[in-house]
Amino acid sequence: MLIVQKYGGTSVANAERILCVAEHIVASYRAGNKMVVVLSAQGDTTDELIAKAQEVNPEPGKRELDMLLATGEQQAVALMALAIHRLGAPALSLNAVQVGIEATSLYGNARIKRIRPERITRALELNNIVIVAGFQGVNRYGDVTTLGRGASDTTAVALSAVLGADLCEIYSDVDGIYTADPRIVHGARKLASISYDEMLELASMGAQVLHNRAVEMAKRHRVKLVLRSAWYFDIEGTEIKEGSTMEKLLFSGLAIDRDVARVSIMGLLDRPGVAYHVFSLLATQKISVDIILQTAGSGKTKDINFTVHQADLDATLKVLETNKEAIGFDTVTFDTGMAKLSIIGAGMTTNFGVASMMFEALYECGVNISMISTSEIKITVVIDEKYADNAAVCIHEKFAQIMNE
Ligand code: ADP
Ligand code: ASP
Ligand code: MG
């Protein structure tokens, strides 16, 4: 079998962990499998590198920042190859430039365009275990770009698709996908399997256990994907697959997305094209807007509220202020420190009771709702970030009851 394994930062945080993971990789190799391994940077390396950059320049340029961040994964792969050598097996570490992971040029959030498989295939034919640096690509100028926080998962799935791997195993510090983050909601239940669509919703709504683009790509290329523990190798993980559970399950999970900011534009002229004007300006700045709420203001004006990622708040306010005259509005206000809390499941809006159950849980724990958005398979509320964990526990408890019925 050709197996792609990916290990997250905590799983390879120190020498002891690297040696432990190396043994597991070598065991799979000696069992007769061809092994490609993708690694994240060790422990908190990526955060530490960002902090280091900010020490010398509070607003680091994105190209140089990517040069720096990519070194984290490069260290990890070299160390892993060395550990595997010590166990008497052949291993070769490669970075994105060496592999040929071609990506778009958007520094900090590049997309994988194409991967040249030749270098890896050749190394595999020579019986090597191939260790690839996750989270990085090379753009058409030959510069290193990074693929977005948490994107080593995406590197692993992309390699699985290109190489036609039989299995892609994502090893992490949890032993599976749960109905909510088990560190926050202790009653969260582990799922034996979850459909690509439900996992995609959970990941997109903030469950960082898998990178959303990894799930999307796995679905598109039919990659057999499993999430497992990097500590307890004999525990079965959670399989992410084409699924039918969406037909049956009313509640498949809950996710929290922190670092949300709410922006309110007040006193916009109530005429056609205003929303287009506002959101096209934001789109040209590559700012993604999430929940949008328009309210009828008084007389000839209206208000538009929307959420953005906290990191995009400054840029958002700048665009709006710069174009205040052209857009035509009175004031802009904002709230930081908000969180989005979403419940995901089939028939969210077709089952009358579901939304009210969620709101009842929030009422019972005294949490005020700032914004609401619903779709076929999810209900999202925006609330104050400091209540997010408690709200998650309350909502989960309520829905766990119907899951057990
Ligand atoms: P890695 O470094 O292995 O990529 P991450 O920190 O990115 O690990 O993701 C694993 C974490 O995701 C877990 O420690 C857990 O706290 C969190 N998490 C959030 N939602 C879920 C969920 N629904 N199921 C399991 N883990 C979750
Ligand atoms: N090291 C990167 C990060 O911390 C990529 C990853 O872990 O997947 O975001
Ligand atoms: Mg991760």
Residues less than 5 Å from ion ligand 3, measured at CB: 8, 150
List of residues 6+ apart from 171 with CB closer than 8 A: 5, 6, 7, 8, 11, 21, 228, 229, 230
Task: Give the model's pLDDT for residue 247.
Answer: 47
For the entire predicted model, the pTM comes to 0.92
Give me the pLDDT at residue 10, please.
Answer: 98
Ligand nearest to the CA of 74: 2
Cβ-based neighbour number of residue 183 at 10 Å: 11
Contact 191, 210 (CB under 8 A): no
Q: Identify which of 36, 222, 196 has the alpha carbon closest to the alpha carbon of residue 131.
A: 36
With H, G, I as helix, E, B as strand and everything else as coil, classify residue 347.
coil
**Residue whose CA lies nearest to ligand 2 atom number 6:** 150
Split the chain (405 residues) into runs of 10 and give each run's mean pLDDT. Answer: 98 98 98 98 98 96 97 98 98 98 94 96 98 98 96 98 98 97 95 91 94 97 97 96 63 91 94 92 91 82 94 94 93 95 81 85 95 89 96 93 64
Any residues with Cβ below 6 Å from ligand 2, and which? Answer: 8-9, 40-41, 46, 72, 134-135, 149-152
Give the whole-angstrom CA distance, residue 370 versus residue 382.
5
Cα(147) to centroid of ligand 2, in Å?
A: 9
Phi, psi angles (nearest 5°) of residue 66 = -65, -40
Ligand nearest to the CA of 172: 1
Return the sign of the alpha-carbon dihedral for residues 210, 211, 215, 217.
negative
- Tokens standing for residue 380: 């999202």
pLDDT, tens digit (0-9, with 9 covering 90-100), for 310-336: 989 999 999 999 999 999 999 999 999
Q: Return the pLDDT at 248.
A: 54
Best CA proximity match to 221, nearest among 123, 328, 112, 296:
112
| Structure token pair of residue 171 | 């090893």
Task: Say how far residue 334 (Cα) sits from the centre of its chain.
Answer: 25
CA distance 356 to 340: 17
CA 151 to ligand 2 centroid distance, Å: 6
- Of all atoms in ligand 1, which is nearest to the CA of residue 183? 16
What the block records as the tokens of 296 is 């009828």
Cβ neighbours of 375 (radius 10 Å): 12
Does residue 208 have its Cβ closer than 6 Å to ligand 1? yes
In angstroms, what is the span from residue 181 Cα to ligand 1's centroid? 7
Atom number of ligand 1 nearest to Cα 230: 3
State residue 245's pLDDT score: 52
For residues 354 and 360, what is the distance between their CA atoms, to the nearest angstrom? 10
- Beta strands, E only, 21-103: 34-39, 91-94, 101-103
**Which residues have C-beta within 8 Å of that of residue 98, sequence separation ≥ 6?**
119
**Tell me, what's the pLDDT at 349?**
66
Task: Please identify which residue in the block is written with the tokens 């400091």.
Answer: 386
CA neighbours closer than 13 Å in the CB half-sphere of residue 343: 28
The closest of 224, 226, 199, 227 to 213, measured between CA atoms, is 199
Tokens describing residue 255? 């996710």
- Ligand 1 proximity of 229 Cβ (cutoff 6 Å): no
Q: What is the model's pLDDT at position 222?
A: 95
Q: Which residues of 135-172 are buried (b: 16+ CB within 10 A; e: fewer)?
A: bbbbbeeebbbbbbebbbbbbbbbbbbbbebeebbbbb
Report yes or no: 34 and 4 within 8 Å, Cβ to Cβ: no
Task: Give backbone dihedrals phi and psi of 75, rounded to 5 degrees, phi first.
Answer: -60, -45
